[in-house]
Structure 1
């Protein structure tokens, strides 16, 4: 779904942020219409920058270079992404990250996988003000409610949409949630969308960044890791690229004990393996429903309805395997 336009009082937000961030957050009351073409937007951006950063007020316009870039880079404290510099009427200003985004195949590379695992452990330890309640099932049900009542103008798309059994999906969500709840996955602050395009690296400085926190919330550890593994497949949904047990154990070792990865016990590896792979099923359901909604709402040229079928098909293909894995593990825990 497209992000909603947020309207805020930038002065109030900047004042609140000053208590949460080391660097000063500069406010401006000005707002900018993002739909404007660059030539019409440029003078507005110039005025906003000069209003926000007083030291720039007397600079000649030739000192500024303004261009449109694509992609969301939403800030988070603790050094995971761009620095938050300022806030204005309907947006924010952030520093530029001198790094490149990863590709799905990059995430499989052992050294990078270890770096991602270590960074994710740091990320999960961040304390964010607000509700600590996990949002996974709330969000799944919200997506389900929206996805199940859509009407498409295109008759062929509508016909394809009507082949979806939302009664079946409803029952699958209930069953999956019941199993996931038994695993008692820890609740942490989760990224929830850790695909390759939301990971950036500067090889020269050996720095890794997580970006785009549109879906970030408190959530289950198993979901954030399982969702990351599902993203090895990329938007092409080549699930043959899903990490095998050895690749996952390599990731888990660096996640569980970043400084002493080889000291992680087999018991802890097995537990996280069960947790992450069971919750990866929830990832398929979540993003499948997201795809249905995007098929109706998004202006982007992409086969979102096809994406639904690919993700939901993978859920059904892996369900028996991971349900058996989780139930066997839980039975073993009870018998010990």
Structure 2
């Protein structure tokens, strides 16, 4: 294993002794300070990986990798030469929006296909994965021509991975579950409750049904989708020129166009500047490398037009998905983030883009 993914002997132990991943029922309190967390993580490691059961706490070092709006990532190093791993602590209440069983089922297969970090162990409220020596991309990185081509090629490979189990597309099932939970909330905070009551669930339900009817007309290919391909889930080792997709917790079998449209929405970055959404020419460039990675110049105009119409209908589905998700997070997540405002941001962008995208789809169907 090269320096880009230096991991420890626990991987070999897991792979050679059993196909099962080491597990522990221990949990780590997400809210603890790093010094208070360290002895608990050391005990967790000793529980998961028996070859370190006799090590002292001083043999381990701990540092924060990042903290998003869902999980906390911590890098754990074991002595000088034993390498590093990453602990991913699930955010509190994330089970309301994430199917952990689905995630854990997919990770080993995606890892075997060359995606993400290797799964080394699981515990009560998180997992241990191999450390990837690479930097996280920024939103502006995603539109650089060389990286656009590489992301498109890798996404094509990702969509070709076979995950065991049902291949039933989950997009509308997930949106339906989100809607059911989001429409039955009550906030203790009166200001939040007032803002929540401004949401018309009758209108949203009508929009979901109308969008699904239009999207179904495309008969889009069903593939295993990442579903959250933002810059924070893309990593690059610049010395080796290797791109990594990480964090598959929202992954599922779904529609190809959703993964593409959702990725393009993320060009807007963390400031959600949707003026940065890629132009038709930029999308066509991405599609060429996605459809024919080895001979992008051979992609027909007809194929480009078809994928453009498909992607931009599912781009609308991405806005609805994350808008409704945000309502649940506004109630369930302890993270200091204005999820209610995020709902309105995404839903308003959906409303703004709907007519143009529906017209594009209608024109496409009329021209066939």
Check the 8 A contact 1:284/1:315 in 2, yes or no.
yes
Check the 8 A contact 2:21/2:119 in 1, yes or no.
no
Query: How many pairs align?
Result: 316
Report the CA distance shift for 1:48/1:309 in structure 2 as closer, same or farther (over 3 A).
closer
2:189 is matched with: 154
Per-residue deviation, residues 47-81 of structure 1 (Å, max 9, x unmatched): 33234333334444433212344355684422211
Question: Given the alignment of the two structures, is residue 53 of structure 1 paired with residue 88 of structure 2, yes or no?
Answer: no
| SS of structure 2 residue aligned to 1:188 | strand
| SS of structure 1 residue aligned to 2:227 | coil
1:6 is matched with: none
Question: Post-superposition shift, 1:332?
Answer: 1.8
Which is strand-richer, 1 or 2? 2
Report the CA distance shift for 1:37/1:255 in structure 2 as closer, same or farther (over 3 A).
same
Per-residue deviation, residues 75-134 of structure 1 (Å, max 9, x unmatched): 442221111223345533211111111111111111111111011011000011111110
User: Which of 273, 279, 285 lines up with 2:308 in the alignment?
Assistant: 273
Report the CA distance shift for 1:303/1:28 in structure 2 as closer, same or farther (over 3 A).
closer
2:38 is matched with: 42
Question: Given the alignment of the two structures, is residue 224 of structure 1 paired with residue 259 of structure 2, yes or no?
Answer: yes
2:280 is matched with: 245
1:318 is matched with: 353
1:197 is matched with: 232
Distance 1:147 1:133 in 2: 23
Structure 1: gaps spanning 5 or more residues: 1-13
2:212 is matched with: 177
Question: Post-superposition shift, 1:28?
Answer: 4.4
Check the 8 A contact 1:87/1:93 in 2, yes or no.
yes
Structure 1, 43-52 or 122-131: larger mean CA deviation: 43-52
- TM-score (ref. length: structure 1): 0.87
Report the CA distance shift for 1:288/1:29 in structure 2 as closer, same or farther (over 3 A).
closer
1:285 is matched with: 320
- TM-score (ref. length: structure 2): 0.80
Check the 8 A contact 1:226/1:279 in 2, yes or no.
yes
Structure 1, 238-247 or 93-102: larger mean CA deviation: 93-102
Check the 8 A contact 2:22/2:120 in 1, yes or no.
no
Check the 8 A contact 1:25/1:84 in 2, yes or no.
no
Question: Post-superposition shift, 1:168?
Answer: 1.0
Question: Given the alignment of the two structures, is residue 115 of structure 1 paired with residue 110 of structure 2, yes or no?
Answer: no
Per-residue deviation, residues 12-45 of structure 1 (Å, max 9, x unmatched): xx9xx85xx9996652445132334433432332
Please report the RMSD computed on the Cα atoms of aligned residues, expressed in angstroms.
2.3
Report the CA distance shift for 1:115/1:22 in structure 2 as closer, same or farther (over 3 A).
farther
| SS of structure 1 residue aligned to 2:132 | coil
User: Which of 125, 130, 138 lines up with 2:173 in the alignment?
Assistant: 138
Question: Post-superposition shift, 1:226?
Answer: 0.5
Distance 1:315 1:104 in 2: 20
Report the CA distance shift for 1:203/1:25 in structure 2 as closer, same or farther (over 3 A).
farther
Distance 1:171 1:139 in 2: 16
1:62 is matched with: 58
User: Which of 238, 253, 261 lines up with 2:296 in the alignment?
Assistant: 261
Question: Post-superposition shift, 1:257?
Answer: 0.7
Question: Post-superposition shift, 1:228?
Answer: 0.6
Structure 1, 62-71 or 179-188: larger mean CA deviation: 62-71
Report the CA distance shift for 1:24/1:328 in structure 2 as closer, same or farther (over 3 A).
same
Structure 1, 290-299 or 261-270: larger mean CA deviation: 290-299
Distance 1:113 1:96 in 2: 24
Distance 1:302 1:223 in 2: 25
Per-residue deviation, residues 146-173 of structure 1 (Å, max 9, x unmatched): 1122222222222222222111111111
Report the CA distance shift for 1:155/1:80 in structure 2 as closer, same or farther (over 3 A).
same
| SS of structure 2 residue aligned to 1:92 | strand
